[in-house]
A and B are shown apart, each in its own frame.
Chain A
């Protein structure tokens, strides 16, 4: 299968990036060093090319109704320029994908824009149009993924850097707010969102203008490697790894994102989730810190102190900020309290570990 390429794939290659396949896309994983890029975001500012993320536009008289019935959060709470984190769940309440949903300005052609994970754009487009037709709703659904580039400018210096090249002030933009801003002469949809735990912005812009904006935001380029270590330190979910609709279906309560579920709205999966909320979950998504030396990685077994397998590491790394081995994964609720001693099987060796609160870092 041919990999999809971000608009600046060749620019990144010339810059010396190494690449990895992610969600069917050929994406930069590292420009200089994961540690160096990680540190840039924590201490100053870094920019990620996240053009592998999808963009779906939903328009028309019933756009709100369609969004409301296919996402777990309450889109009616959004004013123009607001955004919210939301889950897309199946009838059983299992997470198919997570997304940020934007309500666009009233004079915009589209009413809503949402951002599925890499490689999920076609699936989400199909889901939206199938349900629209089944429910007889009047809405247009446009998969605009190939029309846009998307960058994430993250770090404490991100507001100053973006402020230097943006025509409008960004100081009024609160967390999870967004607006159109001209950046280096290019109209961008700029949101105060991110995936690193730092202050920063995500910019969605025409792919034809990808180079202009990238070059204007001149700072440390960062790859998906540091994006992964940064989000792990925050305990943020990674689609396909910390939940996988095919291999490891999880509901939002298990995944620790129950705050995105509004049971007073009607959406696919709502009834199943109401039941989960009433009965409680069996497993919880937790942080784990290794006490012994080693590096926990995706797929490693988590056991109790009797060496009985109780769960699995879904994400793990050596935290560049803490210089300690950290992991995320699901364990039964009786093991989920921070401080509970568990063990992680690292390449055949049982290593002492403790359940930990997330985020792992003070931020």
Chain B
């Protein structure tokens, strides 16, 4: 089975992605991760204003069969949360790189974004 791995973002080994915009990043989980989890039924996310630290837990995603911690790909401050996931957690399954996004983060100067995997490197990991 082949999974979507867009080239326009960067990845963590733990299957989160971050877009690479100027000073903000969108964060979510990958197509591979949603497939492994199965039907997502609950997503617990931080609030606007919360500070994230790279590699530390920022929330939880639950499928019918499993609970998984979410790890922040970057250092920064949450400026937006995808509230749609409260009522429609299945968006993570349906469109993990689009409508299923989780957070928007204002990046710190030392965001850590450069240390993430490229799409090619992540593709190698999941193959």
State the A residues within 8 Å of B (CB). Answer: 29-30, 33-35, 225, 229, 293-295, 297, 317-318, 320, 325, 347
Contact = CB atoms under 8 A, between A and B. Distances in A.
B62 A295 contact: yes
Interface string B10-45: 000000000000000000000000000011011010
Given A34-B38, A297-B67, 17 more contacts: A33-B38, A34-B39, A34-B64, A34-B65, A35-B39, A35-B64, A225-B38, A229-B64, A293-B42, A293-B44, A295-B62, A318-B42, A318-B62, A318-B64, A320-B39, A347-B60, A347-B67
Interface of B: 38-39, 41-42, 44, 60, 62, 64-65, 67, 86
Contacts of A29: 65
Max chain A CB contacts within 10 Å: which of B41, B64, B86? Answer: B64
Contacts of A35: 39, 64
Contacts of B38: 30, 33-34, 225
B61 to A, nearest CB: 11
21 contacts: A29-B65, A30-B65, A33-B39, A34-B64, A34-B65, A35-B39, A225-B38, A225-B64, A225-B65, A293-B42, A293-B44, A293-B86, A294-B44, A295-B41, A295-B67, A317-B64, A318-B41, A318-B42, A318-B62, A325-B42, A347-B60
A295 B44 CA distance: 11
Contacts of B42: 293-295, 318, 325
Q: What 8 A-B pairs have minimum CB-CB distances, sorted nearest first?
A: A318-B41, A35-B39, A34-B64, A295-B62, A295-B42, A34-B39, A33-B39, A225-B65
Among A30, A225, A295, max chain B CB count under 10 A is at: A295
Nearest to A318: B41
Contacts of B64: 34-35, 225, 229, 317-318, 320
Contacts of A297: 67
A297 B68 CA distance: 13
A33 B39 CA distance: 7
A293 B38 CA distance: 19
Contacts of B62: 295, 318
A293 B86 CA distance: 9
Nearest to A347: B60
Contacts of A225: 38, 64-65
A154 to B, nearest CB: 18
A33 B65 CA distance: 11
A347 B44 CA distance: 11
A195 B104 CA distance: 44
Nearest to B65: A225
Contacts of A325: 42
Nearest to A226: B64
Nearest to A20: B65
Contacts of A320: 39, 64
B18 to A, nearest CB: 25
A297 B65 CA distance: 10
B22 to A, nearest CB: 34
A33 to B, nearest CB: 6
A294 B62 CA distance: 9
Contacts of B60: 347
B2 to A, nearest CB: 14
B11 to A, nearest CB: 23
A318 B86 CA distance: 14
